[in-house]
Chains A and B, each alone.
Chain A
Amino acid sequence: MAAMTKADIAEHLFTSVGLNKREAKDLVELFFEEIRAALESGHQVKLSGFGNFDLRDKSQRPGRNPKTGEEIPISARRVVTFHAGQKLKTKVEEASSNNGEQSQSE
């Protein structure tokens, strides 16, 4: 199954919300850019029902070059983590159990 992209989301806004193609494309760009900008400014992003994008500062830790086995430190860094909200988790879970039932009855 092909992955969904920004173009698919813009097309959806065009057909179902009635934005014109330009507005739909701009809105999708802004949607993802504003989330990135908030995270870049040190703010967590909470999209109720969908999930939270959180920031974590990781300290330096020992690592290894998997090819050579050489020990190299993994530098301290800031990373983004995503925690799915209850609604998203439930929908994905329900769908996966429904699929299971369907394949049993087929």
Chain B
Amino acid sequence: MTKSELIERIASKQSHLPMKDVELAVKAVLDYMTTAMAEGKRIEIRGFGSFSLHYRAARLARNPKTGGSVRLSDKYVPHFKAGKEMRDRVNASREQVNIKQTASEED
């Protein structure tokens, strides 16, 4: 499922809202969550999961093209941990459906 399919599914269940509003709202939710994480905030969605930041220490890495070493400063990376309802529902579906492979996209 892509972002546009998510927008269509929400719109089909919120038929009183114009598609355009649902599209704006979905993009606003994602931007708002992105901004929160960029500000170092945790996001906790009960039954879905939580987004937090994990620290990565500074390290010396290699440029694979030139073989030269590069100093990478420390940073934070986004991390997601599935919540209980998400874990249980996904795990319960294991016996019912196979994982569908979708063609890869950017990202």
Please, how many residues of chain B have a CB less than 8 angstroms from a CB on the other chain? 65
Contacts of A85 in B (CB 8 A): 107
Contact (Cβ within 8 A) B91 A88: no
> Contacting A35 at CB < 8 Å: which of B6, B13, B53?
B6
Q: Does B61 contact A (CB under 8 A)?
A: no
Q: Which residue of B lies closest to A18 (CB)?
A: B21
Q: Does B62 contact A (CB under 8 A)?
A: no
Minimum CB–CB distance from A14 to chain B (whole Å) comes to: 10
Contacts of A95 in B (CB 8 A): 38-40, 76
Chain A residues 58 to 106 lying within 8 A of chain B, measured CB to CB, are 76-82, 84-89, 91-97, 99-100
Minimum CB–CB distance from A52 to chain B (whole Å) comes to: 6
Q: How far is B10's CA from A27's CA once the two chains are assembled, in angstroms?
A: 7
Contacts of B78 in A (CB 8 A): 51, 82, 84, 88-89, 92
Minimum CB–CB distance from B92 to chain A (whole Å) comes to: 8
Q: How far is B91's CA from A78's CA once the two chains are assembled, in angstroms?
A: 5
Q: How far is B57's CA from A3's CA once the two chains are assembled, in angstroms?
A: 24
Given contacts A27-B14, A86-B107, is CB(A32)–CB(B75) below 8 Å? no
> Contacting B6 at CB < 8 Å: which of A12, A47, A57?
A47
Contact (Cβ within 8 A) A26 B90: no
| 9 tightest Cβ-Cβ pairs between the two chains A and B | A82-B80, A42-B97, A3-B42, A78-B94, A84-B78, A38-B1, A85-B107, A95-B38, A96-B76
